[in-house]
Every structure is written in C-alpha cells, then in structure tokens.
Amino acid sequence: HENTGLQSQPPPEKQNYGATAAHVRQGPFVSVSRNSPAKRDYLIAAVLCYANLINFMDWFIVPGILLDIQKYFELSDGDTGLLQTVFILCYMLAAPIFGYLGDRYNRKIVLGGGIFFWSGVTLGSSFISELYYWIFFLSRGLVGIGTASYSTIAPTIIADLFEEGKRTTMLSIFYIFIPVGSGLGYVLAAAMADVTGDWHWAFRITPCLGSLALVLLILLVPHRTQRRTAAHRALSISGTIRVAAEKPGVHRTAKTTWCQDVISLAKNWSFVWSSLGLTAMAFVTGALGMWVPLFLYRAQVVQGIVSPCLQESCNSSNSLIFGGITIGTGILGVIAGAEAARRLRKINSKADPLICATSMFISALCLYIALMVAQTNILSTFIFIAFGELFLSVNWAVVTDILLYVVTPRRQSTAIALQILVSHLLGDAGSPYLIGTISNAIQAKNGHSFQWSFWSMQYSFIVCAFVGVFGGGFFLLTSFYIEEDRKEAER
C-alpha cells in the first residue's frame, strides 16, 4: 500500500509478514510510508547484484581447478580441503566486525574497501610460486576477509530500499547470484585453464570484474542514500517510518550495545534454529562445492571413462558441467523457493521454515543416491547431484527472509553477521577439510590406488547426507517459534 497518515492495524489473520511486512501501527506518531521504489533504487540493487556475482566467482575459482592446484603444490586431500577452510575461517571471523561497522557507519565506504581489497589479493595470488604454498593459503584467507564485508552488509541495503513483496523479489534476485556466481567461478577457472594451459590465469579475470564493480559502486550509489536508509531502519517498525523527531515527549529508539544485541538474538529461537539449519546447508554446500568435480573425476577413472591425469594441465570438463548445473539449479531453486513461500504464506504462517525443512530432507536423499550410483552410472550421478543442489538452493532467499522478519531492523546487520559466523564456523569452514581428512585416513588404511581414492571420497561424502537430515530437523524446530518471534519483532 502507499497510503499515508494514521491507519488502524488490520487483524492478525490479515497481516502480511516477512518480506511483505509493511503494516502501519496506530499511535501518537505520524506514519509515512515510502513511495514505490525509484529507478535509482533498482539501479543500486543491480550494482549490488553484480558485485555479489563477482564475490561468489572468487569463492569458487579454487574448486574449479582443484586438481591442477593439488598437483602444482603437491597437496594431499586433507591439505587441499584446508584451502577452503582457511578462506571460510577468515571470512566468518571478519563478518561480525563488518556487521558492527555496517550498523553504525557508512556502508558504501565499507563495501568499496572490501571489493578493492579482495580483488587486489586475488590478483596477487596468481603470481605465487609452488615453493611458497603457504603464501597461497594466506592469500585465500585475506580474500575471505574482503568478501565478508560484502556478504554482511549488501543484503541490508536491499532490505532498506524495498518494502512489501518487492523486497522478497529483490532479495531473491540478489541471492540468485550466489549459485550463478559459484557456477561461473567453476566455468571461468576451467575455461581459462583450458584456453591458456596455465591455471594461474583464472585468478586474473575476477580482479578486473571487481574493479568495474568498485567503479559502479562509487558512481551510482550515493552517500546520502546510505545514510537515509540507515536512518529509516533506526526509526522504522515493519517498514513504517515513524516521524517522531518533532513530537514532544516522543523518544527515538535507544541505541544498544553490541553485547545487548547478541544477548537479544540468542533468546530469539527462530533466529537460533534457522541459523543452525543454515549451518547444515553451509556444511553440505561447502563440501560439495570443493570436492564434487574431483569426486566425479575419480569415479570416471575407476569406470575407465577417462585416463588418470599425469600431465601439467588436467581435463576440466567436470568443473564446466558442475558449474553449469550449479547455475541452472541455483536460479531455478531460488525462484521456486521464493514463489513457494509467497503462495504458502497465505495459507500457513509457518510456511517458510516448513519449506526449508522439506527441501533439506529431499536434498539429503538425492545426494545419498548420487553417491551410491557414482561407480556405475555417471549420468545418474549428475542428475541426482543436480536435484540435490536444486533443493538446497530453494532455501537461500527464504532463510534470509526469516531473519529479516524475526529480527528488528536495527539489529539486522549484526544478526546477519552472527549467522554468517555460526553457519561457517560449524558448516563450510570445516566440511571441506573434514571430508579430505576422512578420505586421507581411509586411503592410509587401504593403500593408495585409483579404486580406493574413489571409495575414500565416496565414504567420506556420506557425512553430508546425514548433516542434511539434521538441517531439516533444525528448520522443523524453527516452525514452532516463528509466529511468536515475528510478532515480538513487530512490537
């Protein structure tokens, strides 16, 4: 709606919520609803989406050429998994810092600095010699710090720019670029390695694209827009701007400390359980993203489809196919999740966590089947991996939407930062390393052969299916608290 002035609150059964929450409360305040988004708002959102694309392309360059990197630095499976673990650890440890900065300072400056930093480090990592593998590990950690600034703050800017159903749509578009960027990271890395015969060139493209994102951010995102939307968030309840400054006896929302914010969020059970569900998602996606192309390569070697890679540049077709699957299933999954949430909310107020739980259970089943058929039928493996990724992608926008309506606006950056910290600390920070370590242990007990290289990865991957089931359980627990926490956030 676009009415202004005092309005009575609709009865609870007719209220919208989540990304569609924009109802106006009756009281001694003058309520001013924002006009429909201007073209500038969509332009800002487009810039943020483009930068998100580059962000996740950088994430998945390493998995796209993992076999080449493993051979170049002579790394075991465990050490190879540690590459992504270092990246995620630095990313998650930096996230709360940027959440604090994003809630209190100019977000455009923080975003610009992050893009410049991670692009520069990525470029520098392409010149590292095989003798200094530890510097390569360090560079991935520094890239993680830079990307944390973006993932923490950018969603809150979009949440400020749009209200009602438009926010769901724009967040869905923003999160579509997670799987699209991830898939393009595989495709870019594999294509550059094939074209140039040198995998180092994969790390020299995204910095150029990042530079363009930085220029667009500087030119198209005004400083005053950032300050104004931040002020709106501080004075708004469910998208309604409360003009209180001129009213005698009216006080602005008191500022709280970071510790107070954290304590409040820890008592928010919808936030806690949905964050643990997201953690399970992160565990599975982190392991899949790191190891699937290498797992498929080992399965093909065992079946005799491909020969073992002995030359300097290995065949990257699995990365190209898996990248394409990631892009397609990601787009379809995010759109399907947002549409399912929009429709089912009308008939069930617990629809969001139930959608997430169902998709996690189905995804876990598909991934388990994919692992079981890998030694006999590669095509079926690709198909079930695609379905597994599809149902994982359903949850991306829905989980963020849950956070945005169970957490008050002035704590949203902090909440996102804490969710990033927990989901990565217990999720994809450790899963690539854990899978690689289990694989190493199995190979050590049974000897190094192509058959056991495949079996060791297959057995270690089964952990992901069980974690997916736990994730579905966490989202089911979220459904028990979602209504109460949503109403509390609105109050």
- Whole-number pLDDT of residue 222: 64
Q: Sign of dihedral through CA atoms 19, 23, 27, 31?
A: positive
At 38, which amino acid appears? A
CA distances from 364 to 162, 297, 394, 486 (A): 34, 22, 13, 29
Residue with tokens 């989980």: 399
**DSSP-derived secondary structure for 156-218:** HHHHHH--HHHHHHHHHHHHHHHHHHHHHHHHHHHHHHHHHS-GGGGGGTHHHHHHHHHHHHH
What six digits make up the tokens of 147?
Answer: 């990307």
Instruction: State the virtual CA torsion across 290, 295, 298, 300 in degrees, nearest 10.
Output: -120
Which domains can be identified in the chain, with CATH numbers? 37-233 (1.20.1250.20), 268-490 (1.20.1250.20)
Using one digit for the tens of pLDDT, what is the confidence trace for 251-292? 445 567 878 888 888 888 999 999 999 999 999 998 998 889
Task: Give the model confidence (pLDDT) of 448-489 as tens digits.
Answer: 777 888 889 899 999 999 999 999 999 999 999 888 888 887
pLDDT for the residue numbered 78: 82
Let me know: does 403 contact 478? Beta carbons within 8 Å. Answer: no
- pLDDT tens-digit readout, 114-132: 899 989 999 998 888 888 8
Cα separation, 303 vs 299, whole angstroms: 6
Higher pLDDT, 373 or 105: 373
Under 8 Å between Cβ of 291 and 435: yes
Residue 71 has pLDDT above 90, yes or no: no
Say if pTM beats, i.e. exceeds, 0.85: no
Nearest CA-CA partner of 416 in 260, 261, 239: 261
